[in-house]
Structure 1
Amino acid sequence: MTATARPAEKPAMPHFSSGPCAKRPGWSVEALKGAAVGRSHRAKVGKTKLAQAIDLTRDVLQVPADWRIGIVPASDTGAVEMAMWSLLGERPLDLLAWESFGSGWVTDALKQLKLKDAREIKAGYGKLPDLSAVNFDHDVVFTWNGTTSGVRVPNGDFIPADREGLTICDATSAAFAQRLPFDKLDVVTFSWQKVLGGEAAHGMLILSPRAVERLETYKPAWPLPKIFRLTSGGKLIEGIFKGETINTPSMLAVEDYIDALQWAKSVGGLDGLVARADANTKAIADFVAKVDFLDFLAEVPETRSNTSVCLTFKDPAVASLDDAGQQAFVKAFTGFLEKEGVAYDIAGYRDAPPGLRIWCGATVETADVEALMPWLAFAFEKTKTEMAQAA
């Protein structure tokens, strides 16, 4: 076998973490100089900034005018939990799970909320569950893009327009990189630190008119913590969706999110963001097609994520190792790339099959993904040789 030459070029930005994700190109702390620091988020300046963040979200993400958008605490997790605790229990529930975070929502529904009339429809890593098995007379909770598996739903065609139940969609690694059919989604959640590379700890909650109707006509059987309460006196707290947040937000983080949204508009809005993520993923797909040691974890091309791209090692010398051996190989492989300053944080998620997870969201430059690819081949040969010598 011909030895792979050490690549001469490195990515200019080696940040390929799946969260917090790479900052937008050209970002610096100067982007935060207009932040309303030291001011109350309830003062006019604070409310104006928060309302601006909501308005820009609607504009870039193409959210319908009658869908409410709110900034909520505790990142995407907080937004999903808020929706589940506030809306579920009125009718039966279907939960879709094919990766770690979807499985987490199953645990919350069955073991925390203790919903009796609920069922899990699941699939293993690399696959989607049988979408035709979903009963949309039930409420449905699912992730749009499996961040830890790199498997996404291809579109919203499986969701009927005349559904009786609500669809609650965790879209945290899809929003701003994939087109979300809001007419098919009653609740959409995401966090700032994914596709736009914002800061952590803040979540977004988007509600359809149908979801608002449920909130105003249904009261859960369990008590709701203050941080989850979306209604008062049986009516939606409209202020939450105008920038009057439930708890105190970081105005630095708000400024950073506004900056990211303005950058998003500068690259063509949603169309430009999707195109950037698609180009990044294509760079990996073109490379994988040429080598014999890597493959996508997602088995069907139409379901492959264009943000959290998950890869497995199919070379027999690695694939034949037990789980601990494969994990050790991944650790050595990714450790070498990090030491070289080529790629940070690209090991697969801890609960996923051993492999790689390379973030390809819109803030990543395609030239950096392309520059990374030869290093994957070099690191593989180096790690495999060292593993054989140590055996």
Structure 2
Amino acid sequence: MSRAEPKTRPSDPRFSSGPAAKRPGWSAKSLELPSLGRSHRAPLARGRIAHAIELTRTLLEIPADYRIAIVPGSDTGAVEMAMWSLLGPRGVDVLAWEHFGGLWIKDIVDQLRLEDVRVLVGAGDIRHRLTMVDWQRDVVFTWNGTATGTCVPGADWIEYDRQGLAICDATSAIFGEPIPVSKLDVIAFSWQKCLGGEAAHGVLVLSPKAVERLLSYTPPWPMPKLFRMKDSAGLLPGLFSGNTINTVSLLCVEDAIDSMEWAISIGGLSALHQRVRDNYQVVADWVAASPWADFLEAVEPCRSRTSVCLRISDPKIAGLDVAGQHRFTSEIAQRLDNMGAAFDISGFRTAPPSLRIWCGPTVETNNLKALMPWLDWAFAEQELHLHQHS
């Protein structure tokens, strides 16, 4: 017998981990659009790009001596630009606990072919790997892994007096998790995660030490144009004040400005962090009472509060082979999509069988509260379907 459908649906069922939900109250009419159709080199457009950079500095409380640029290729482009421009003078420690960290390993080992590389991966509690890091070396890591819901447990493991560079892919944590900027030398992210912005562009933040490395070191490999941050005279003129390397989408810029101005209007970074904590707590309370679901990341201090990943712990489902578990979770996600209760919550394609619910700051807590009964409904329906066809 089918379980009764919950009476209330989320008013916004967008729980995708990227691009994520737009800010509350968003409308295309909210965007300031005089820059559209203008050259991105025109004073008006450059002023808007520069405004986006300064809003980033203000909202993230980035020190005045750090440089900020809008770059091509989303977060991936920003991370790769940093690695191809800065790595080589020192040995490198690269950490990975999910898909995207694995991509940075592939870049460093297979593409750049650096010789002195330590790859710190492995199953289980990531805190052990953090103790193995040598800060005499450059360190590349992902702050928050959206594929597995694994997040570094703060920044105590990062040394202030490090000799190497701390290069951080922060895209699904920045704006959502407390990140002490002064403990990082390179911060890469995009607008499409915690701001609910549009894709295509990345943001790259460099500390004075990273800028010094950039200016003093020339890599031995050819540098693609899109990765070039300097010329024979030094830093590219205007790159860190609005003169982008390639043609930027001014609609994306205006959308990012709108999101950041909203964030500042509700109380800034601390307000965004509180929204994430409130959202995560809804899911955590539900998991604590659930007979069939648990967090994919078992270690609570290392659990993401933004990209919350759930596994099915019910013995009947957990006992299926991996392909069967993937089908079960995918069909739960499809049921919820069909009912208009949750869009795009299937686990990442390379992750273990899971559901992935975005709890970032643009998601409204009431929508998550409305979603929880639908998860129970979809599990019950899918379990019944499995029983009927077994």
TM-score (norm 2): 0.98
For residues 334-373 of structure 1, the aligned pairs below 5 Å read 334-373=333-372
> Share of identical aligned residues, percent?
53
Aligned residue identity for 1:18: S
Deviation at 1:69, TM superposition (A): 0.5
1:304 corresponding residue in structure 2? 303
- On the 8 A contact 1:98/1:125 being kept in 2, the answer is no
- On the 8 A contact 1:99/1:125 being kept in 2, the answer is no
Deviation at 1:34, TM superposition (A): 2.4
2:322 corresponding residue in structure 1? 323
5+ residue gaps, structure 2: none
Q: Identify the range of structure 1 (115-124 vs 256-265) with the bigger mean alpha-carbon deviation.
A: 115-124
Distance 2:205 2:168 in 1: 10
Backbone CA RMSD of aligned residues? 1.3
**Secondary structure at the counterpart of residue 252 of structure 1:** helix
1:212 corresponding residue in structure 2? 211
Distance 1:319 1:207 in 2: 44
Aligned residue identity for 2:332: F
**Secondary structure at the counterpart of residue 309 of structure 1:** strand
Q: Alpha-carbon deviations, 1:229-271, whole Å to 9, x = none?
A: 1111162225110000000001111100000000111111000
Distance 1:351 1:237 in 2: 38
Distance 1:148 1:41 in 2: 35
Aligned residue identity for 2:101: G
2:107 corresponding residue in structure 1? 108
Q: Alpha-carbon deviations, 1:145-178, whole Å to 9, x = none?
A: 1111111111111011111100100000001001
**Secondary structure at the counterpart of residue 130 of structure 1:** helix
2:234 corresponding residue in structure 1? 235
Aligned residue identity for 1:114: R
Distance 1:136 1:371 in 2: 45
2:53 corresponding residue in structure 1? 54
Aligned residue identity for 2:170: A
Distance 1:231 1:173 in 2: 28
- On the 8 A contact 1:277/1:361 being kept in 2, the answer is yes
- On the 8 A contact 2:2/2:381 being kept in 1, the answer is no
Deviation at 1:126, TM superposition (A): 7.3
Q: 1:324 to 1:125 in 2, by over 3 A?
A: farther
Distance 1:94 1:307 in 2: 26
Q: Alpha-carbon deviations, 1:194-214, whole Å to 9, x = none?
A: 000000000000000000000
Aligned residue identity for 1:277: V
For residues 268-287 of structure 1, the aligned pairs below 5 Å read 268-287=267-286
Q: Identify the range of structure 1 (294-303 vs 240-249) with the bigger mean alpha-carbon deviation.
A: 294-303
For residues 225-264 of structure 1, the aligned pairs below 5 Å read 225-233=224-232, 235-264=234-263
Q: 1:60 to 1:213 in 2, by over 3 A?
A: same
The alignment status of 1:192 with 2:191, answered yes or no, reads yes
1:166 corresponding residue in structure 2? 165
Distance 2:74 2:4 in 1: 43
- On the 8 A contact 2:13/2:343 being kept in 1, the answer is yes
Deviation at 1:112, TM superposition (A): 0.5
- On the 8 A contact 2:16/2:345 being kept in 1, the answer is yes
5+ residue gaps, structure 1: none
2:13 corresponding residue in structure 1? 14
2:62 corresponding residue in structure 1? 63
- On the 8 A contact 2:2/2:384 being kept in 1, the answer is no
Aligned residue identity for 1:312: R
Deviation at 1:29, TM superposition (A): 1.1
Q: 1:309 to 1:126 in 2, by over 3 A?
A: farther
Distance 1:154 1:96 in 2: 14
- On the 8 A contact 1:126/1:297 being kept in 2, the answer is no
Aligned residue identity for 1:77: T
**Secondary structure at the counterpart of residue 119 of structure 1:** strand
The alignment status of 1:25 with 2:24, answered yes or no, reads yes
Q: 1:234 to 1:88 in 2, by over 3 A?
A: farther
Deviation at 1:182, TM superposition (A): 1.3
1:267 corresponding residue in structure 2? 266
Q: Identify the range of structure 1 (34-43 vs 63-72) with the bigger mean alpha-carbon deviation.
A: 34-43
Deviation at 1:299, TM superposition (A): 1.2
2:79 corresponding residue in structure 1? 80
Deviation at 1:180, TM superposition (A): 1.3
**Secondary structure at the counterpart of residue 168 of structure 1:** strand
Distance 1:40 1:66 in 2: 29
- On the 8 A contact 1:284/1:373 being kept in 2, the answer is yes
2:93 corresponding residue in structure 1? 94
Q: 1:129 to 1:30 in 2, by over 3 A?
A: farther
Distance 2:371 2:357 in 1: 10
Distance 1:190 1:13 in 2: 25
**Secondary structure at the counterpart of residue 289 of structure 1:** helix
Aligned residue identity for 2:264: K
Aligned length: 390
Q: Alpha-carbon deviations, 1:2-21, whole Å to 9, x = none?
A: 98542100000000001110
2:148 corresponding residue in structure 1? 149
Distance 1:62 1:367 in 2: 29
List 4+ stretches of structure 1 deviating above 4 A.
125-129
Aligned residue identity for 1:73: P
Distance 1:33 1:53 in 2: 12
Q: Identify the range of structure 1 (176-185 vs 105-114) with the bigger mean alpha-carbon deviation.
A: 176-185
Q: Alpha-carbon deviations, 1:87-116, whole Å to 9, x = none?
A: 001110000000000011000000000111
